[in-house]
Chains A and B, each alone.
Chain A
Amino acid sequence: MSKEKIKIKINNQEIIAEKGQTILEIAMQNGIKIPYLCYHPDLKPKASCRLCLVKIKGYNELKTSCSTIAEDGMEIITESPEIKKARKTNLELLFGEHSKECSDCVYEHNCQLLQLAKKLNIQQNKYLKRKSYLPSKNFGPAIHFQKSKCIDCQNCVEACKKYATGYLEVKEKGPFFRIEPSKDKGKICLYCGQCLAHCPVGAFEAAGEFEEVNQNLANKNKIVVFQFAPSIRTSIGEEFGLFTGEDLSERIVAGLKKIGADYVFDTCVGADFTTSVEAKHCIEKLEAEKNPLVLTSCCPSWVRYVEFYYPEFIKNLATVRSPQIILGGLVKTYWAAKMKIDPKNIYIISIMPCTAKKYEITREELSINSIKPVDQVITTREIAYLFHKKNIHLLEIDPEKPDNPLGISSGAGVIYGASGGVMTSALRTVADRLKQKIKINFVASKEIPGVKEAKIKINNKKYRVAIVVGIAGAKKIMQKQKKNPGYYNFIEVMVCPGGCIGGGGQPVPNTKEMRDIRTKGLFKIDEGKNLHLAHENPIVKTIFKEYLNNEENLNRICKTKFSQKFE
């Protein structure tokens, strides 16, 4: 059934729109630009920044287009001296809240506040910065919150509630409120970074260690090895004006070489190892237990959630290391030995879509003979910032292939970057190993938003699998599983919307529209590959044969364990 249509006028232009749409949505669909800061299509309209103001015939006051549902016959004006003046005044007032540190702000190139300031030609320092005295706060090793930049839009609070644990709260302080981390001991930050993905002014940033990276790049005794996550390749283009989800792998490699990388490997190869081990883990569980439950463990925010909130399910987390950790481990052992390099002289940097990966590398149990598999994690936004700083324009440089032998993955490794990718990759390998066809037909759950379910048949037995995005859905799934043990058998959880392609460290705007484009890009790469099975990747086969052929190596490179966390 088609939706009811209405007819409105924007700037005297007649427009047919769907009933129920906001003025801003209609304007954007029709190429009419209205400035905004606090609007984000993932979230409910807050109407707090007062920039998307428009004039509706019949009203004295201006209305915010983000929150006003268009009605049949409405006549709307989006530009006039009155509107411009109000937007300017509000933007100048907003600047009074935002301490400017643009020169070393990663967000500089994307800062909507700064772009609007230039466009509306406002006086940026009209008012004294009222928050400049406020201290910054770090959330673990992952996120840096500068309260002195916050414009009180509350997007982070809603995003945190929607995708994570509701760790960010609104606290009343004197005549104002302030965004503060929760003091509730029963709540933790998952480090997913959805706060920063939804902050319009860069008040949240990934805790970056550029100094350490630059020192290592300059140090001639260090072999600097980069690896880059599956989801980066179809998203980083956005930082350079390319919004098509095109595969930029070889340009990323070239860019990294330009900033001084000695070697660049592909985390997708790590993902092929993760899949192979995880599939084996699943098959063992299927054969040993009547009603097994396996939870994926690639998303460090999800792992942290289980370890804190659902310790009774820790035993169900797949005991396999995430792709960046396996790849880092192989570089510092197998590859280092081949190359005759002392692993202590190797410095590994992962380019990740994710702020929680910064936390993952600090987990003690991942060390191999007291050496960390990965030394540093940098987000997509951060590496783009470094490229910009060094005047490297990804679209204008000659592509280069990743280094061998850890540079070519299967298609399964690439789709790890999107929700459902880990599950799909694992089931492909399970099916192939068991020489069966597994039909999977995922259906969106009517009961729980953000969840897709499927019933599959393996060895003539039925199993129920689920793909989950966001903690809200995950929590409901876990409650269901608790009530009905055995209900689910295999659950993939990613905290960020759309999976890693919607990660907290990804380019902004991190909207559904962009996430869909990034996802399509990843699946296109998979389609274009001859190899779709992780365990069939020649380098995976070689390393399993040559190096991971004993329990000791397999355990220290590919396996891990989890334990209850109390903070």
Chain B
Amino acid sequence: MTTGIIKKIEDAKLLGKSGSCFSTAKKWQVFKEQKSAKKYIICNIAEGEPEIEKDRYVLKNYFDKVVEIILLAIQEIPESAPIIYIKKEYYDEFKEQIQKAIKNTLIKIEIKKQGYINGEETVICNILEGKRAEPRTKPPYPVESGINGYPTLINNIETFYRVWEIAHNQFEDKRFISISGIIPKKGICEFSVDESIKSILEKSDNLPKEKFFVIAGGLLSGEILLPNELDQPIKGAGSIVVFSTKTNGFEMLKKWSNIYNRENCDKCVSCREGIYRIVEMLESRKINEEIFLEIVRNMQISSFCQLGRRAGYLLEQIYQKVYKNV
């Protein structure tokens, strides 16, 4: 039985704002039900996707409200120790504001080390235990067994903010979206969660005049959509990056695969060796289509974690939609 704030979250049908879109009420309820003398609640401000700054936006504008909800969560689940897990650049930028807001609370700050995967929830647990930054097998989920085996609730900063809206009856099921690329008005805007990408670009006055495509849902984990595919809401992280069709597909493949090669955790063979062989192929400047597709499709079905699967998907999309069509 859900009660109190969790019941309100459930009624609001809030989905997590990191991009995974998991039911927040369910996550909180499972966390609450765990029998453990010690628990952790983590507000995740890792924001690892390049060019996205929507978490920074929430931090800058609504941090007091976020703290209010973290404290409410501890009231609801009193055995929990609260932690703010934050990207170093953001902490440096907003240090005073953060310190002021968490003064006289039990909230602790943990600075995130540089690294794309370091914002994933099981990676966070490993890092906070002093272990190597690599994802864990799920289940068990962190809400059941997280840091040192204790139940650990990890939510994106925006999720906490949306809970604040719910708590204050101001919830309209919106999300923040970071818009960037070859557009006039870069920045963060707020739209209903089911607003289509096309409508977002139109309403924000950002529909490009030249031929374009977008990567929606995260620059490294999202998907490529062509102008005729924009009649759908964003899946994944709240971001739209607009590219010109003049973008060099080969260079784009190279850039993306180099980032993945550097940023992946190397735990599993599909992603570690797969990406490396793509990088090697691109360095030789000869793409063997059969092997390329075999590797990226294999990443999609057999990588250990979502990041490897998404990387394989986006590389295939860049290959098909940008490299081959240009």
- A-side residues, CB < 8 A to B, are 45-50, 53, 60-62, 64, 67-69, 82, 85-86, 89-90, 93-94, 96-97, 126-128, 130, 151-152, 170, 175-177
Contacts and interface: CB of A to CB of B under 8 A. Distances in A.
Contacts of A46: 267
A48 B302 CA distance: 10
B273 A94 contact: yes
Given A61-B300, A61-B301, A177-B132, 8 more contacts: A62-B302, A89-B270, A90-B298, A90-B302, A93-B277, A96-B273, A128-B280, A152-B272
B79 interface: no
A75 to B, nearest CB: 18
Nearest to A68: B137
Contacts of A69: 139
Given A47-B137, A170-B132, A62 B272 contact: no
A63 to B, nearest CB: 9
Contact of A61 (B132, B267, B268, B309): B309
A45 B137 contact: yes
Q: Please report whether the interface of chain B is mostly helix, strand, loop or mixed according to DSSP.
A: helix
Contacts of B295: 89, 93
Contacts, number: 77
Contacts of A53: 302
Contacts of B274: 93
- How many of chain B's residues touch chain A, expressed as a range? 20 to 34
B268 A93 contact: no
Given A60-B301, A61-B300, A61-B309, A48 B277 contact: no
B266 interface: yes
A45 to B, nearest CB: 7
Contacts of A177: 132, 266
Given A67-B137, A127-B277, A47 B268 contact: yes
Nearest to B271: A50
Contacts of A48: 267-269, 304
Contacts of A60: 301
B292 to A, nearest CB: 12
A132 to B, nearest CB: 14
A94 B269 contact: yes
Nearest to B132: A170
B216 to A, nearest CB: 20
27 contacts: A46-B267, A48-B269, A50-B270, A50-B303, A53-B302, A60-B301, A61-B300, A61-B301, A61-B302, A61-B303, A62-B301, A68-B137, A69-B139, A86-B270, A86-B298, A89-B298, A89-B302, A93-B269, A93-B270, A93-B273, A93-B274, A94-B273, A97-B273, A130-B280, A170-B132, A175-B276, A177-B132
Given A50-B268, A89-B294, A90-B298, A175 B261 contact: yes
